[in-house]
Structure 1
Amino acid sequence: MIKRGSKYFRTDRANWHIPFLALLFSVLLVSCKDNEPKKVAATGAINSLAIAINDNLWSGEIGDSLRKKFAAPVDGLPQEEPLFTIQQFPVRLFDAYKNSNTNLILIKKEEKTGYRVVHDQHIKPQNLVVISGKSIAEIIAFIDQNGDSLVTLFRETEIKRSQALVRENLLSDEKLKKRFKISLDVPATFQYVMEKPNFIWMKKEILSGNTSILVYKVPFKTILKNDNVVNNIIAMRDVFGARYIRGKENNSKMITEESYAPYFDITVIAQRRAYETKGTWELKGDYMSGSFINYAIMDRKKREFIIIEGFCYAPSTSKRDLMMELEAIIKSVKFL
């Protein structure tokens, strides 16, 4: 069969080039990927928003609509601070700004009507929102319809950016693993200042004060009794604050500020139901106060809540970005 006219011999000879072409194609494919320009990492400030819109539109109804959505006050802070620090510039300067801003909105009044979100086109991460309309009313309609989802998108991106910065240099979380069976990405700029069997306090000193992370756990009934979750969370944090968080004065203790109604929401963290509470704390008897964000994360198997709270004391500076870092740390939690 092999000597003369073997079809097997002729078939192998006719198709000898197929493996070679496959190898050549794979090499070229890898080469093309290697030659693709890598996107530059975002360098803009956390919680910033760049808006490309011509001055006449920015000073009118469209600008008012944008400011209402994206410069609204942050929930849970004692003083009003905007969700995002907005930088506006004319559309003709778009190319000069597109490579440095994580969150970017482009507004154009033209015949073409549309709304789209483009991810990571110029840098990574980046959310580029393009809105165009024939009339002011059309553009405002796009902003009103999509503004809330864009705020959520922008904040989630900023949380991830903050977490990436935190992971560059981490504090050991072995103590958290041992006591609470969780891992948490905490910057090495924090240090453990109190360790109890069911309570850990980590603190970071900053120029204008300090920021802190608390971790403890409570049984279901502490938060779910009487179906009054908000009041139960406030009562719980007041108990732990009075027990462990004190000022320089002997009789001082941390409590939840009663003058401000706390912000409350139900969310999901680490695939678990969680209660989010934001508000203001004070050291009763020591004239200190600040902002807090508290997450009560449900562990159904153990019928308990893991409580992770961040709070700051920064009387002479804005608190928005400090609280963003604490939120990013808390949302990095993983159950072991």
Structure 2
Amino acid sequence: MRKIFLSAIVLLLVLSCKDKNSASDKFLFDSSGNINHVSVVVENDLWNGSVGEAIREVLTQIVYGLPQDEPMFTLSQIPPSVFSGFVTKNRTILKVEMDGNSGMDIMENVYAKPQKVITVSGKSKQDVIDVISENAEKIVNTFRAMEIEERQRQMAKSPHHYVTKIKEKLGLTIQFPSIYDLAKSEDNLFWFRKNITTGHAHIMIYDLPYGALKRNDSTVTQIIKIRDSIGQAYFKGRLDETVDANGNKISSFMVTEDAYTPFHAETIVDNKPAYETKGIWELTNDFMGGPFINYTIEDKVNKRWVGIEGFVFAPSVEKRNYMLELESIIKSVKIE
């Protein structure tokens, strides 16, 4: 009897250990890595040759709408022989494999979570290059969507208490962190700002009458005029209302810089048609300026347009990641 009892205990312990091992097999560590940072797993000779050039051409293309050239992503090359341990935990990974099949696979949460792993394969260098070129837009969009999702996840940890008032006034929800301070609040406009390295970042949320914007060949011009009128009304320069050496009163406010053609495209935000506009802003009679991103969303149900804009003043530092945060905030909007 004693032997049977001991055997039963041993069996239970073995099964228990097996269950624990099975659970651990499914466990994934949290992913890591800086925003807009991609790990590229590829052999050194490929990285230093035409395959590496093709990868860099896609992933380090210049971000449009910034005052200075900045790459879409920062890349770190890792040879497959050392791709193990903590280096596999990066949030975005591009792998190059030379085998008999040509194609591309997109996988989620392979080594950590959340994570996107894109594997490009081919039987020759040219095959790999062709796959990268043919899927360039998909590769960029996959990694950018991952970074926006991650930035939204991080910001959700400390939501701003003003989201309730925004919902009451504008009938929409939007997620942004509590570090933003309220700069202005009116019936149909909210303006928040936060201090950053050498400057500040801003987010504006407002709505417009349905007739304020017409769909035609001049839509982008209409959007620029609207944002310039809002800038003139609310975002004043340091010298505004002061007097110059000749005794003349100075007028200084935010406008869209004429010398930099804004990027304009139609897109979808919260399952609604929207216009995306990117460009450079400046202050009249002053030397301040920086990038902006504006989404004007058509809210047919409520017969209005919802405008959400982010802009940054950060001289002498890179602005790519600041603009990604603002885009992440904008794309978290849910209109009731």
**How far off its partner does 1:127 sit?**
1.4
- Between the aligned partners of 1:196 and 1:112, the Cα distance in structure 2 is 59
Q: Which residue of 2 aligns with 1:189?
A: 179
Q: Which residue of 1 aligns with 2:30?
A: 41
Does residue 122 of structure 2 align to residue 141 of structure 1? no
Specify which of 203, 210, 214 is matched with residue 193 of structure 2: 203
Q: SS where residue 267 of structure 2 aligns?
A: strand
- List per-residue Cα deviations over 1:192-248 (Å, max 9, x = no partner): 111122221100111221101001111233221654111110010000000110111
Does residue 237 of structure 2 align to residue 247 of structure 1? yes
- Between the aligned partners of 1:33 and 1:106, the Cα distance in structure 2 is 27
Backbone CA RMSD of aligned residues: 2.0
- Between the aligned partners of 2:231 and 2:42, the Cα distance in structure 1 is 48
Report the residue type matching 1:136 in the other structure.
Answer: K
Report the residue type matching 2:285 in the other structure.
Answer: G
**How far off its partner does 1:110 sit?**
3.9
- Between the aligned partners of 2:55 and 2:81, the Cα distance in structure 1 is 19
Q: Which residue of 2 aligns with 1:108?
A: 97
Q: Which residue of 2 aligns with 1:281?
A: 281
Q: Which residue of 2 aligns with 1:292?
A: 292
Q: Which residue of 1 aligns with 2:109?
A: 120
Specify which of 59, 68, 91 is matched with residue 57 of structure 2: 68
Gap regions ≥5 residues in structure 2: 1-15, 241-250
- List per-residue Cα deviations over 1:280-312 (Å, max 9, x = no partner): 100111210011110001111222101010011
Report the residue type matching 1:90 in the other structure.
Answer: P
Report the residue type matching 2:108 in the other structure.
Answer: H
Report the residue type matching 2:263 in the other structure.
Answer: Y
Decide whether the 8 Å contact of 2:205 with 2:307 is kept in 1.
Answer: yes
- Between the aligned partners of 2:326 and 2:22, the Cα distance in structure 1 is 38
Q: SS where residue 260 of structure 2 aligns?
A: coil
Q: SS where residue 224 of structure 1 aligns?
A: coil
Report the residue type matching 1:65 in the other structure.
Answer: A
TM-score w.r.t. the length of structure 2 is 0.87
Q: Which residue of 2 aligns with 1:87?
A: 76
Q: Which residue of 1 aligns with 2:160?
A: 171
Report the residue type matching 1:306 in the other structure.
Answer: V
**How far off its partner does 1:108 sit?**
2.7
Q: Which residue of 1 aligns with 2:5?
A: none
The 1:138/1:226 distance shift into structure 2, 3 A limit, reads closer
Q: Which residue of 2 aligns with 1:329?
A: 329
Q: Which residue of 1 aligns with 2:45?
A: 56
Specify which of 215, 222, 227 is matched with residue 212 of structure 2: 222
- Between the aligned partners of 2:55 and 2:25, the Cα distance in structure 1 is 36
TM-score w.r.t. the length of structure 1 is 0.87
- Between the aligned partners of 1:142 and 1:222, the Cα distance in structure 2 is 45
Report the residue type matching 1:266 in the other structure.
Answer: E
**How far off its partner does 1:132 sit?**
2.4
- List per-residue Cα deviations over 1:15-49 (Å, max 9, x = no partner): xxxxxxxxxxxx9x998875544211111111111
**How far off its partner does 1:57 sit?**
1.2
Does residue 170 of structure 2 align to residue 180 of structure 1? yes
Gap regions ≥5 residues in structure 1: 1-26
Q: SS where residue 99 of structure 1 aligns?
A: helix
**How far off its partner does 1:123 sit?**
0.5
Q: SS where residue 186 of structure 1 aligns?
A: coil
Decide whether the 8 Å contact of 2:102 with 2:131 is kept in 1.
Answer: no
The 1:233/1:133 distance shift into structure 2, 3 A limit, reads same
Report the residue type matching 1:235 in the other structure.
Answer: K
How many residues align? The count is: 310
